[in-house]
Amino acid sequence: MRILQLSTALPDGKFSTEELIESFPCKLPEGVRQNVLNLGVASRFLISHDYASLGSGTVMSEDGLIDLCTEACERALQKAHLSAKDIGFFVAAYDVNPFLSPGLSQLLVRNVGFDPYVRHVNVQGIASTAFPKALELAQNYLAVHPDKQAMVCVSGVSSYWFHNQVRGLKNVLEIGQINQITDEAARRLELQKWVAAMQYFLFGDGAAAAIVGNAGEGFSFGKTVEVTNVEKKDYLAGCSRLAVLNEPFRFGFFSHLDKDIPRLGAKYTGLALERLLGNDSAETMKAVRKWVVHTGSEKILNTLAEHNGVQPDKLKESHEVLREYGNLAGASLPFILERVISKNTFSRDDLVLMLGYGWGFSAAASLLKYAT
């Protein structure tokens, strides 16, 4: 299977990290401010960041998400000189949607212009490894329907979660202060607030769409290796869950990012690469032209580069996407791949290695080869 076209879309609202620090609900201590700057994010595009103005019973609108995904899909179709009616299978991958049900694929079918009878599927909750999984689903479809084309849309819209959860925040303590709190419940609450602040400043919004088929010029997508929950409780390192409030029709949202994520990211991606490349791993990794690595944070990217011996120039597009757009969750890999393809010239059989990792706790590795 080959990736024939790849397009991205961003919201209109662009905000620098400094602007968002100034508009944050509370003043950040210098240590927390430095933590934010160390994430490696200079700016982000957001569907909205003014959740403070929402009432407590406001039902969030799905319009921004739908419009952004529709734009990405339409751009991909236009570049491929195809119409939505030419697509036989549609995969929508996402984590956040104001609608818990129906899923994103149902909401996009008519907006993009697909036939109402098109085969479609939703992939929800996989986060940073969503793009390889969605491509794998499309690959399975094309194995049965070799003359067809499929489309994958990946949403990286996270602001519905991460901006809403800091509404009304009165203070955020530095990590050193949090570690000195002796009451476990109080310490846990302050750590939750610190994590919520980091998520607010790390994640941006974006959407990407890819058209795939069995014929044509582009990167071929072959084998993908996934690994998840090597240790039973690893999934707790990065997770989101609902909390119950003692009011009718009220639910809370809780998310967590653990300090152990850089180590787990290195461990899991190492395991995935070992399984993907086998005995030829060292030789293949040396031959790879570019690495497309999920934009966890500056620290995580550097940890993975050091762990796998990746030269900085082979990873620069991942750093650029993190700096300009923030962590785009599942959309980060197609954003990076689109930049790699558009800014570099490739020859037949050139290799690109794609790595996703994160919540689950999971990692996915895919080897792409340029084909003409």
Neighbouring residues of 114: CB distance < 8 A, sequence distance ≥ 6: 84, 85, 87, 90, 108, 120
**Residues 224, 363: Cα–Cα separation, whole Å:** 10
Q: How far apart are CA 211 and CA 232, in angstroms?
A: 36
Contact indicator for 217, 346 with CB cutoff of 8 Å: no
Helices 104-112, 63-80: axis angle to 10 degrees equals 50
CB contact at 8 A, 331 and 123: no
The pLDDT value recorded for residue 256 is 86
Count of positions (residues) in the chain: 372
pTM of the prediction? Answer: 0.94
CB 91 within 8 A of CB 150: yes
What's the pLDDT at 60? 82
Beta strand pairing call for 251-257 and 238-244: antiparallel
The amino acid that residue 233 corresponds to is K
Tens digit of pLDDT at every position of the chain (372 positions): 999 999 999 999 999 999 999 999 999 999 999 999 999 999 999 997 665 566 666 778 899 999 999 999 999 999 999 999 999 999 999 999 988 899 999 999 999 999 999 999 999 998 899 999 999 999 999 999 999 999 999 999 999 889 888 988 999 999 999 999 999 999 999 999 999 999 999 999 999 999 999 988 889 998 899 999 999 899 999 888 888 878 887 788 888 888 889 899 999 999 999 999 988 888 898 899 999 999 988 988 998 888 888 888 999 999 999 999 999 999 999 999 999 999 999 999 999 999 999 888 999 999 999 988
* Paired tokens of 277: 């490349």
Helix%, strand%, coil% for the chain, nearest 5? 45, 25, 30
CATH architecture of 222-371: 3-Layer(aba) Sandwich (3.40)
Q: What are residue 174's phi and psi, to 5 degrees?
A: -70, 155
Are the C-beta atoms of 347 and 370 separated by less than 8 Å?
yes
pLDDT at 194: 94
Query: Residues of 25-53 as b/e, b for ≥16 C-beta within 10 angstroms?
Result: eeebeeebbebbeebbbebbbbbbbebee
Q: Helix, strand or coil for residue 355?
A: strand
Task: State residue 50's pLDDT score.
Answer: 65
What was the pLDDT predicted at 8?
98
Predicted confidence at residue 281, as pLDDT, reads 82
C-alpha to C-alpha distance for 159 and 88, rounded to whole angstroms:
31
- Which whole-number Å values give the CA distances from 171 to 85, 98, 122, 185, 186, in the listed order? 52, 28, 38, 17, 13
- What is the torsional sign of CA 344, 223, 234, 192? positive
Per the CB < 8 A criterion, the answer to whether 91 and 152 are in contact is yes
**Maximum alpha-carbon separation in the chain:** 64
Structure tokens at 361: 């706790």
